[in-house]
Each structure stands twice: as C-alpha cells, then as structure tokens.
Amino acid sequence: MQTTKLARLALEDGTVFHGRAFGGSLREVDGVGLEGAGEVVFNTAMCGYQEALTDLSYTGQILTMTATEMGNYGVAAEDIESARPCVAGFVVRELSQVASNQRSVSTLSDWLEEAGVPAIHGIDTRALVRRLRLGGAMRGIISSVPLAAASDLELVARARAIPSMAGANLAAQVSPRCSGRFEEALGEWAPRGGLFVETKPTPSGRAPGARFQVVAIDCGAKRNIYRHLVERNCDVHFLPHTATAAEIRALKPDGLFISNGPGDPSVVETVIRTLRDVAGEIPTFGICLGHQLLALALGATTWKLKFGHRGANQPVRNLLTGRVEITSQNHGFCVDEKSLRAAGGEPTHIHLNDGTLAGFRHTAKPIFSVQYHPEASPGPHDSAYLFDVFIEMMTSRRPVGAIEMERAQAALAAI
C-alpha cells in the first residue's frame, strides 16, 4: 500500500529531500522514527535491486537507483548475494504498488522493513543524482524522525558527522568469521557452451573427475562469483580476511581468489600483507576490491573516484583482444595505472567512460584481476570468460596471456 509516513534524505552539502517512508523507515524506536546514515551513491542499472541491496560492497552506503520504479517484481529467495540487505539506506523515485512475479515471496518494502533498512521514495532522484555527479558521493542520512523532533539543519549536521568512506576498513566488518566451503553451482542459470562449462576441466596430472582446489579470501564476496567457480569444477574454500599465507598454503590450492568487498582498499592491511607473501606463488584472480588489494600488494596505489562506477551498463575495452565488454560494476576506488606499471603490472582492461584502469595482469607471475563483476546477475555476461581464463591459468600455472584471453572471449561470444 502507498505509505503516507514522511521521511527525509539530508546531504552533507545542506540539501534536504522530502519524501515518503518505506521499508525500515516505517519502524519506530521508543515512538521515534528510524535513521540510516552512510555515503550516498547511485546505481544506473534498470533492474537487479535485490542483488544490489544484498551486495556487501554497498556496506556503509545509501543506495540510490536511477531507474524510475523499483519493487515491481518483488523479492525472490534465489536472487540474493548475501544473507540479508546490507545497505545503510535505499532511495527510489517510485515504489511499485504491485509485485508481479511468480517467484516473489515478499514485497520490497516488507523485505526491507524486516531487515531494518531505512528507505525513502517519492523524491526527485534525477536532481539527487545530478548533485552527486557534480559534487561527488556525499555523506547523508535517511530519517523518518518527525520535523518537530529533528529539523532539516540538525539532519545535515548529523550527515556531516558521519565518518568518511576514505580510510574505512569495512571489509573487516563483513568478512566471514570462520572458514567454510561453498558448494552451490549456477544450476539452471549456467550458460551452455564456452571453454569449460560443458567439459568440466580436470587439473593436470590428476585422475578424471578431480576438482580444482580454490582458496578464496572473502572480503564480502557475492555468492554468484562462487557459483561460477563451482560450475567450473572448483571446490571453493573461503577464508576470512585475516587468513595468513601459512593457512592458505596448508590447503594446497590450485588457485587463489580475492573477492569483492566494501570500503577503502588501502586500509585492508591484513589481506595486503598476506598477498605480498603468497600472490604469484599460486595462480591468483581478483575481482573489484580483490583487484585493488592485489595491486596494492604488488606496490601500486589506489585513489577514490569522484562518484564511482555503479551499474550494469559500463563499457570496458579488453586491451589484449580489442573487444569491448558491457560490464556490471560497483566500486568507489581505483588503481593508479602509472604506479601499477612500475610494480610490474600490465593493464588489460580500460573503462571507456573515463579511461581509468579496469583490469591488469602481472608480466611475470600468474596474477590477473578486474575492477568489475564478470559474474553479474542480473547483468551482461560479456565478461564471464574471465572465469575460464582463471581455470586455464590454474592448469598451466603460467601468467595469463593474450591468447588465453582471446580464446576464452571468442568461445563465450559463440554461445
């Protein structure tokens, strides 16, 4: 039903948007409305709100969707990337009053209310996104506290008191507390064709049916990443961000994977130290935060983007093959290309919107990574070949080359 309870979104630059509450904003604590605080960012995807809301990389952020209407297909239990919604708040132009989907088990508002995630709709999201593009991502607060209890100026002051995303080690907050195994494959969503999905590769020198042993340093991984690895005949052993090189070596892995996650990569020192010790000794693949951590471990530097790359329509050029991929992305930090080259890295992918680094390989060690999400669901599958490249690298134990990239990308395109 249409909500009439009022809510506000206050930004650190003094802007205040007035709208209507939904989700966790409908709750009250001691008779007072709920508040959620974080860095306000925007995502340009047309769908996939459920996957975005459960992407742990959004921890500490208030997510704004640029598409006009959200909630029209409800919530399906199969479409989550982590245990629960993890954003600090959610902002949409229009909340659908209909959840039309045979797989839906809940409405978007009820789901967010159960999770305690504050949300607001009925504001001009075009004006909000324009402000974020011009001024950059800003700290903000969603509040359903009545105006009589907290003025607009008070909310702005609270927004300005929120800690900056720069210097925030949020990966330590979302990383699992203990190790485990992930065993779920893609199932009916698996692509048919490609290099390895059909043939189920076997590690060299082992009996038929043997599986690749992959250790994943989990800094807030999306489940669909692990599903892609399992689909390609990998046993995935995930470890917390505190894992040491000795713990990784003890598992005798064929490959090492570094996951996505939230926050400033430069302060995730435990992972950086471990990677300095072990990366390259084992064939290594990183995605998003994992890409940044690998670069930092090699000696490169990172910097904070003005408003980040978040959406399912981001163009990237593969410099090794010349092909353009439409990718799904979610990050606010970037690797400095000059420092990466000085550290022995070679750019493999470039973001075509702004020319920033989107992927690299090491010229002498079996290490490669990308800034974006090849496992995107929903989203483009142009980059799923990268999982096949990882399999090939584990098989050969050599640095990934242009031939492997070209072969895997061509096979995916032929599906």
| Helix residue ranges per DSSP H, 83-170 | 108-115, 125-135, 152-160
Helix axes 385-396, 223-231, angle to 10 degrees: 60
373 is catalytic: yes
Among the options 51, 375, 392, 404, which is catalytic? 375
Are 181 and 235 in contact by the 8 Å Cβ rule? The answer is: yes
What are the C-alpha distances in Å from 298 to residues 200, 277, 346, 388, 405? 32, 10, 12, 24, 22
Give Cβ neighbours of residue 246 (< 8 Å, ≥ 6 apart): none
Q: Helix (H, G, I), strand (E, B), or coil: what is residue 256?
A: strand
Instruction: Determine the distance from the C-alpha atom of residue 160 to the mean position of all C-alpha atoms in its chain, rounded to a whole number.
Output: 26
- CA 264 – CA 45 distance, rounded (Å): 23
Virtual torsion, Cα 267, 271, 273, 276, nearest 10 deg: -120
- CA 241 – CA 260 distance, rounded (Å): 11
Report strand pairing: 302-318 vs 324-335.
antiparallel
| Helix residue ranges per DSSP H, 75-196 | 108-115, 125-135, 152-160, 171-174
28 is catalytic: no
309 is catalytic: no
> Tokens 């090794």 — which residue?
320
Determine if residue 242 is left, alpha or beta; phi over 0 gives left, psi from -120 to 50 gives alpha, anything else beta: alpha
At 383, give phi and psi (nearest 5°): -105, 10
> Tokens 């509040």 — which residue?
143
Among the options 86, 234, 288, 334, which is catalytic? 288
Among the options 121, 228, 241, 373, which is catalytic? 373
Per-residue DSSP letter, 254: S
- CA 77 – CA 56 distance, rounded (Å): 17
Per-residue DSSP letter, 264: -
Q: Burial, 393: exposed, middle or buried (Cβ in 10 Å; 0-12, 13-18, 19+)?
A: buried
Q: Which residues are catalytic?
A: 288, 373, 375
